[in-house]
């Protein structure tokens, strides 16, 4: 059974989807420098959304998808949420306000608080919450695809959502991988990543609409090389990309564009570039994280929406921040490419060697 993405909405540091795609095509980084997260006022580049209540923005985005879809309600729709932060920011707010943990509600700290909040508002048939670090919402999409293919559900709403919080920023700082400027994926002089926040909402269906993008393939792997570093030979990344292509019945030569995981860290970019160069000859490659930062558990869903919109608009986004390319075998555009891509692959890689690749195409 075919699976289609029929509707989607996002919110991130660059704004909504229209503003985000404009920033991608115009190479306008939306990373800001902040000194409020690391002890000693150390500057770090972050991707912060506009001011507002995170859950109010989330509910608004889901409402828009419901309004713009052909569904009267979500009573027969499964909700799958992918997140790595869940309610952590609310817990932090209480802790910093009170100076202790006593008033923190554990039930509002968990990953499932996002799905529970949305279910209370919209009454879904059932809900699931997935947390696999930076592949969380990519794996939510993979699961949704599998469930629709076996006719378990006709419609599934996938939400990727992570709020910016001190715990994650300080955690990545402890690993020594944060940049004090907008990240520069695949650049020889890149110096780290930018932690960011985002919300992405995608409605998947077994029925095609006029504007549908077909969700053709999904592949996952676990190279289990190291808790934070990828396998230096790229075996896990290759396995995930290969599985997505096999699932779709697509050859590597048919892929027009890869939205790379491309975090701007030394380890990730070199390994991902190696893996891509071993599988693909001349398809375009760029990372949207130079604009959005790394939105953690929301990244897979956010970048799936970017992949779908790239197909809709027929223009491949250039790489922002690239000064001197490290791996010359990659075909990284530095200006928008008007090529009307048919097949777009989106990569998400996470701690523990958890790798997920998703393939999207024009609905036939």
Q: What is the CA radius of gyration of the chain?
A: 19
**Is 134 labeled as catalytic in the residue annotation?**
yes
Q: What is the spatial distance between Cα 357 and Cα 260, in angstroms, rounded to a whole number?
A: 10
Residues pairing with 350 in the sheet: 354
Contact predicate 193/299, CB 8 Å: no
Hey, what are 331's tokens? 């075909």
Classify residue 69 by burial, with Cβ atoms within 10 Å: 0-12, 13-18, 19+. Answer: middle
The active-site residue out of 12, 173, 283, 294 is: 294
Q: What is the spatial distance between Cα 344 and Cα 348, in angstroms, rounded to a whole number?
A: 13
| 3-class secondary structure, 337 | strand
Contact predicate 279/219, CB 8 Å: no
* Residue 192, phi-psi category: left (phi > 0), alpha (psi -120 to 50), beta (remainder): left
Q: What is the spatial distance between Cα 345 and Cα 241, in angstroms, rounded to a whole number?
A: 8
Q: How many CA atoms lie within 13 A of 173 on its CB side?
A: 18
The active-site residue out of 173, 183, 261, 308 is: 261
Q: What is the spatial distance between Cα 219 and Cα 309, in angstroms, rounded to a whole number?
A: 21
The active-site residue out of 12, 134, 165, 183 is: 134
- Our CA dihedral for 206, 304, 146, 65, rounded to 10 degrees, sits at -40
Work out the number of other CB atoms within 10 angstroms of the CB of residue 252.
Answer: 15
Q: What positions carry a catalytic annotation?
A: 134, 261, 294
């Amino acid at each position: 059974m075919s699976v289609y993405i029929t509707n989607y909405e996002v919110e991130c540091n660059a704004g909504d989807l229209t503003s985000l795609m404009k920033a991608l095509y115009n190479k306008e980084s939306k990373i800001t420098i902040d000194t409020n997260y690391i002890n000693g006022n150390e500057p770090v580049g972050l991707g912060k959304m506009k001011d507002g209540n995170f859950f109010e923005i989330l509910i608004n985005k889901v409402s828009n998808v419901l309004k713009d879809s052909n569904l009267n309600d979500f009573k027969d729709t499964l909700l799958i949420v992918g997140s790595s932060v869940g309610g952590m920011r609310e817990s932090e707010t209480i802790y910093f306000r009170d100076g202790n943990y006593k008033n923190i509600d554990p039930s509002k700290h968990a990953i499932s608080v996002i799905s529970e909040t949305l279910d209370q508002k919209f009454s879904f048939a059932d809900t699931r919450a997935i947390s696999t670090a930076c592949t969380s919402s990519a794996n939510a999409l993979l699961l949704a695809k599998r469930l629709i293919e076996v006719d378990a559900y006709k419609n599934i709403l996938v939400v990727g959502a992570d709020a910016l919080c001190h715990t994650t920023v300080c955690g990545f700082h402890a690993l020594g991988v944060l940049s004090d400027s907008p990240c520069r994926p695949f650049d020889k002089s890149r110096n780290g990543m930018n932690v960011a926040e985002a919300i992405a909402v995608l409605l998947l269906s077994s029925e095609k609409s006029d504007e549908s993008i077909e969700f053709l393939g999904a592949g996952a792997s676990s190279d289990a090389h190291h808790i934070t570093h990828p396998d230096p030979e790229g075996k896990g990344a290759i396995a995930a990309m290969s599985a997505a292509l096999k699932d779709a019945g697509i050859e590597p030569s048919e892929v027009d564009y890869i939205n790379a995981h491309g975090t701007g860290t030394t380890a990730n970019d070199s390994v991902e570039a190696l893996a891509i160069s071993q599988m693909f000859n001349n398809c375009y490659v760029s990372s949207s994280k130079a604009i959005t930062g790394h939105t953690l558990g929301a990244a897979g869903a956010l970048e799936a929406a970017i992949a779908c919109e790239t197909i809709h608009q027929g223009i491949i986004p250039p790489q922002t921040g690239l000064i001197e390319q490290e791996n010359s075998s990659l075909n990284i555009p530095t200006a928008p490419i008007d090529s009307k891509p048919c097949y777009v692959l989106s990569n998400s890689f996470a701690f523990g060697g958890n790798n997920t690749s998703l393939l999207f195409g024009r609905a036939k």
